[in-house]
A = this chain, B = another copy of it.
Amino acid sequence: MKERIREQSIQLFAKKGFKETSIQDIVDALKVTKGTFYYYFSTKEQLLNDIHLQYIDDLLNKQEDIINHPSKNSKMKLHEIVYMLISDIEKQGQSALVFFREMRNLSEENLKLIVPKRDQFRLNIQQLIEHGIEKEELRSDLPVDIVTLSILGMTNWSYFWFDPNGRVNDKEVSEIFLKIVLEGLEK
């Protein structure tokens, strides 16, 4: 039941927003009552925190699996992370939407746990790029942090427009992204 509440809430938060979704909305959708909700979650924010943690933990795990792979170079790993992010939209894009959009509804307390993980995800990419520079796979004349943020901008923004059933699929989008970022648009 706890899992069902979490899933349903992600759908509703993604569609209507955290504040705009009432506990009543959630329990109505599950055909249970408010008491049930409060049996599993102490507050509404607690639920949001749960969703955030689950999402970022899962993402970090997947990222580390990719990074720790021994026999691949940095460019390949970067490619895989971008693909992982884009392909994730189909499976749990709504979690991502909630993650990006509703973080401000968490208390200071809860943010202390989430923000470092979010930063970790970014820093992992940054290290990957630094590694690529060391190995002379990538150019060295640009500030790595800004480069990282530009790549994350591309991918994160796609949560707002990417349509898994659209003309261009997840694999193609991540390849286009990589081509732009690695090769550039200039002729």
Chain A residues near B (Cβ < 8 Å):
16-17, 19-20, 75, 101, 104-105, 129, 136-140, 142-143, 146-147, 149-150, 152-158, 161, 168, 173, 176-177, 179-187
| 8 residue pairs from A and B, CB less than 8 Å apart | A138-B185, A139-B186, A142-B179, A143-B168, A153-B157, A181-B184, A182-B185, A182-B186
Whether the Cβ atoms of A183 and B180 lie closer than 8 Å is no
- In the complex, what distance in Å separates the CA atom of A180 from the CA atom of B178? 11
CB distance from A181 to the nearest CB of B (A): 6
Question: Could you tell me if A20 and B19 are in contact, using CB atoms closer than 8 angstroms?
Answer: yes
The answer to whether B150 and A154 touch across the interface, beta carbons within 8 angstroms, is yes
With a cutoff of 8 Å between Cβ atoms, the chain B residues found around residue A182 in the complex are: 184-186
Tell me whether A187 and B137 are in contact in the complex, defined as CB-CB below 8 angstroms, given that A101-B101, A153-B157, A180-B181 are known contacts.
yes
Q: Could you tell me if B139 and A187 are in contact, using CB atoms closer than 8 angstroms?
A: yes
* Cα(A104)–Cα(B17), bound, Å: 8
Q: How far is the CB of A116 from chain B (nearest CB, A)?
A: 16
A185 in contact with B19 (CB, 8 Å) = no
Contact partner, A185, options B17, B152, B181, Cβ 8 Å: B181
Residues of B within 8 A of A181 (CB): 180, 184-185
Smallest Cβ-Cβ distance to A150: which chain B residue: B154
When distances are taken between beta carbons in the complex, the residues of chain B under 8 Å from A157 are: 149-150, 152-154, 156-157
